[in-house]
């Protein structure tokens, strides 16, 4: 790990981890901005992934029973998304503003936002398991044909492979990255509650060894800087012109029938003809 982490000497003379090097924060910030530039340049030459207008016209005639507006995200799903977004941005600002020289009582707001994030994620797990189509967001070997077809379409080849279901492949891969980073940062963050005075648990820095505390802080820091890049990428894609229909769906809940047929496979995501999710 070299200089990517900081070490200290324990009272017993052992070298123990303390936290990550804050240079990693700057590396994540610069890396995220470079990604934006690289992807923006790539999109200048990329082909559109949606279906041709003539094919969508034919599908509209074939799927006559579809409503004009199709529910993509229920009200509960949208509330969860924006609560998680608010808590995540609060966590990032309270964690990294002090590093860039903005001084304020950040610890209180940080652990409060962490509790909000934890509660929202726990709710989402239950909601996705019991109410939503749980497997629609996951990736696996079954998605290899879709991946190959998408890559061919990117270079302008009219590939016959399947379109995406409810969530495009990029969405599903991003969700997987957020899942790993999110659960890691939540688990390590809950442990760190015993190092600060919150009124929720009794402060006790001796529940873990110095080495385990160091590892906990390093994991929390690594996942935190990881979220810097993930959040930059998320906001970037949400604001891209060709993705605005997805962003609007996260605000208003629905997409149009034509957007549904342009971007999705009706056999993989069967829309409710009543317009509900």
Measured CA to CA in angstroms, residue 27 lies from 11, 35, 94 at distances of 32, 12, 18
Which tens digit of pLDDT belongs to each residue from 41-65? 888 777 656 778 888 999 999 988 8
Which tens digit of pLDDT belongs to each residue from 179-191? 999 999 999 999 9
On the CB side of 97, CA atoms within 13 Å amount to 14
The whole-number pLDDT of residue 49 equals: 66
The whole-number pLDDT of residue 276 equals: 53
Confidence class for position 148, pLDDT limits 50, 70, 90: confident
The whole-number pLDDT of residue 47 equals: 61
Listed in order, strand segments (DSSP E) in the chain are 5-9, 15-20, 69-71, 254-256
What average pLDDT does range 218-222 have in this prediction? 96
Burial class, 68, CB count within 10 angstroms (exposed 0-12 / middle 13-18 / buried 19+): exposed
The whole-number pLDDT of residue 214 equals: 93
Q: What is the mean pLDDT of the chain?
A: 90
The whole-number pLDDT of residue 275 equals: 56
Helix (H, G, I), strand (E, B) or coil at 7: strand
Looking up tokens 């995406």 gives 164
Nearest-angstrom CA–CA distance, 240 and 44: 12
The whole-number pLDDT of residue 7 equals: 87
Confidence class for position 244, pLDDT limits 50, 70, 90: very high
Measured CA to CA in angstroms, residue 113 lies from 94, 102, 132, 180, 190 at distances of 9, 18, 26, 19, 12
CA angle 59, 65, 70 (to 5 degrees): 85
pLDDT surpasses 60 at 277: no
Helix (H, G, I), strand (E, B) or coil at 196: coil
What average pLDDT does range 71-80 have in this prediction? 96
Confidence class for position 12, pLDDT limits 50, 70, 90: confident
- Rounded percentage of the chain residues whose pLDDT exceeds 70: 97
Structure-token pair, residue 211? 């080495």
Nearest-angstrom CA–CA distance, 157 and 90: 43
The whole-number pLDDT of residue 41 equals: 86
Looking up tokens 């495009």 gives 168
Which tens digit of pLDDT belongs to each residue from 171-216? 999 999 999 999 999 999 999 999 999 999 999 999 999 999 999 9
The whole-number pLDDT of residue 228 equals: 95
Q: What global pTM score does this model have? A: 0.88
Choice between 119 and 54, residue whose per-residue pLDDT is larger: 119
Structure-token pair, residue 168? 């495009």
pLDDT surpasses 60 at 3: yes
pLDDT surpasses 70 at 24: yes
The whole-number pLDDT of residue 250 equals: 97
Choice between 44 and 221, residue whose per-residue pLDDT is larger: 221
pLDDT surpasses 60 at 74: yes
């Amino acid at each position: 790990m070299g200089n990517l982490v900081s070490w200290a000497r324990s009272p017993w003379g052992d070298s123990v981890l303390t936290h990550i090097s804050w240079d990693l924060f700057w590396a994540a910030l610069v890396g995220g901005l470079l990604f934006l530039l690289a992807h923006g340049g790539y999109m200048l030459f990329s082909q559109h992934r949606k279906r041709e207008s003539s094919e969508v016209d034919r599908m509209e005639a074939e799927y006559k029973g579809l409503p004009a507006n199709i529910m993509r995200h229920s009200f509960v799903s949208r509330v969860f998304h924006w609560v998680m977004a608010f808590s995540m941005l609060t966590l990032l600002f309270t964690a990294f503003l002090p590093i860039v020289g903005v001084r304020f009582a950040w610890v209180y707001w940080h652990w409060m936002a962490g509790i909000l994030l934890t509660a929202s994620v726990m709710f989402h797990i239950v909601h996705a398991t019991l109410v939503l189509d749980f497997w629609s967001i996951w990736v696996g070997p079954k998605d290899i044909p879709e991946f190959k077809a998408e890559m061919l379409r990117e270079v302008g080849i009219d590939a016959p492979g399947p379109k995406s279901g409810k969530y495009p492949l990029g969405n599903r891969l991003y969700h997987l990255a957020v899942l790993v980073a999110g659960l890691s940062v939540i688990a390590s963050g809950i442990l760190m509650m015993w190092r600060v005075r919150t009124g929720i648990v009794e402060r006790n820095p001796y529940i873990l060894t110095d080495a385990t505390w160091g590892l906990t802080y390093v994991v929390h820091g690594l996942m935190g800087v990881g979220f810097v890049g993930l959040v930059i990428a998320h906001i970037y894609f949400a604001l891209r012109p060709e993705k605005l229909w997805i962003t609007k769906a996260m605000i208003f809940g629905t997409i149009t029938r034509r957007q549904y047929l342009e971007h999705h496979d009706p056999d993989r995501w069967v829309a409710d003809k009543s317009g509900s999710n």
